[in-house]
Structure 1
Amino acid sequence: MQIEGSVALVTGANGGLGREFVRQFLERGARKVYAAARRDLDWSDGRVVPLRLDVTDSDSIGAAAESAADVTVLVNNAGVIGAGSLLFAPITEIRDTFETNVFGPLQVARALAPTLAAAGGGAIVNVHSVLSWLAVPGAYSPSKAALWGLTNALRLELAGQGTHVLGAHLGYADTPMTTGLDVPKSDPRDIVERILDALDAGADEALTDEVTRRVRSNLSTHTTGAIRAN
């Protein structure tokens, strides 16, 4: 997958990682970037096309796919932290977390798969988390684990049309989503740079920081279930 000359669509473009994806796609020579978000944003670069998109709304996804008929790279970046407890949070909050973090990326991928096929295959980048492999309370980590599995299955299903599917994993990035967390955080610029390097290299996974690489390397030593974060 060559980024230079590509046309990218980035969901969650209003967030810290989303804005960085838009910036670095342009920096690497993308012809156009659709900056997709639930609200309109002002962009100073004429190569950026604002796109109204709610990944939990089928009609919104369909309209966005119709508007972005020249996309060659999809970045499923939109996500929410979600319900803090599987036992005590309202079940609607848990469902909403999975709607955004799992079914949203799936629906966007389904809507754009024919467009990518028509462009010769293209690529899909799904933004996971180190918590895809670490069990913590709440709905976020199981939703990201589900997205990891979904990415691996999509890679198999889309191979026939030549679509490259990349799963990107990271720990905590210094974005508005993590403002209230007192934990070590990576610079979003470094995270996105490593993801796009992996995309350029045709890799299946992008392990973007030290904690992610360490946890990934330990997976084969834990055969009885998910690793616990504590």
Structure 2
Amino acid sequence: MSIKIENKVALVTGANRGIGKQIVETFIEKGAKKVYLAVRNIASTKELEEEYGDKVETIQGDVSDDKSIINLAAKTTDVDIVVNNAGVGTPQSTIGKNSVEDFKNQLNVNAFGLLRVANAFANTLEKNKGAIVQLNSVASIKNFTPLSTYSASKAAAYSLTQGLRVELGAKGVQVLSVHPGPIDTDMSARAGFTEAFPTTVVSEGIVDALDKGDFHLFPDEMAKQFEAAYQSFSDNVVLAEAEE
């Protein structure tokens, strides 16, 4: 399966800044007909609205809230591509007095958020023969100790993404799992990364991966090192399992 962005309607969660904002901009540059900007604060997308006019539409959506995502899906039944970009990432080690509560919070957004989005949009994406894109991380396949709870939440999200590939793929829906390394965002800065890759490597990589029908995208130079080491396991276990 593959899907081109030209003349498609897309929806991006967490569209107001960072990678999400860049995905919106790249999708429009590559010919998307319309992009829904799904954000918690609808006042946060004024810059995008001023630049792109009727090619974008801001709509309230909070991936941590069941009702919000159900309402979001009900209002956007014309969507072809859903990009679940919204996420949280706070530095938290495995041992610490706040680790349990921090992990609960990150799971609620990063993993349960994906479940909410996938379930809410499943019928629409099946009907439209569309695609769902999940922003995971290289941390989904390796625990980075200073970001232990984040890594664990992204590992859960990656596992769920594999499940979606099997279940939604059988219904004609393309599923893409994106695994960036450190990207130049506020989240990376808070995590202490002094060197980071531009957001465009992710957004342009998504367009290319959707066109090729890929399941995995490791977009930046650091991520590609993970991809090279992970390739055999991916081919022989992750992807093979879906073909049994």
TM, length-normalised to structure 1: 0.91
Matches within 5 A, 1:27-42: 27-40=29-42, 41-42=45-46
RMSD: 1.6
Q: How many residues align?
A: 221
Amino acid at match of 1:47: K
Amino acid at match of 1:125: V
Matched, 1:217 2:201: no
Q: Give the conservation status (yes or no) of the 8 Å contact 2:28–2:35.
A: yes
Q: CA deviation at 1:86?
A: 2.9
* Equivalent residue in structure 1 for 2:16, among 4, 14, 17: 14
Q: CA deviation at 1:149?
A: 1.1
Matches within 5 A, 1:1-230: 1-40=3-42, 41-42=45-46, 43-44=49-50, 45=52, 46-82=54-90, 84-88=92-96, 89-119=98-128, 121-137=129-145, 138-180=148-190, 181-219=192-230
SS at match of 1:135: coil
Which one has the bigger helix percentage?
2
- 1:100-150: per-residue Cα shift (whole Å, max 9, x none)? 00010111111001011111x200000111111221222101111111111
TM, length-normalised to structure 2: 0.86
1:165 and 1:57 map into 2 onto residues whose CA distance is 23
SS at match of 2:83: strand
From the superposition, tell whether residues 67 and 221 of structure 1 become closer, same or farther in structure 2 (CA, over 3 Å).
closer
Q: CA deviation at 1:220?
A: 6.5
Show structure 2 runs of 5+ residues with no match: 234-244
Q: Percent identity?
A: 38
Show structure 1 runs of 5+ residues with no match: 223-230
2:230 and 2:212 map into 1 onto residues whose CA distance is 24
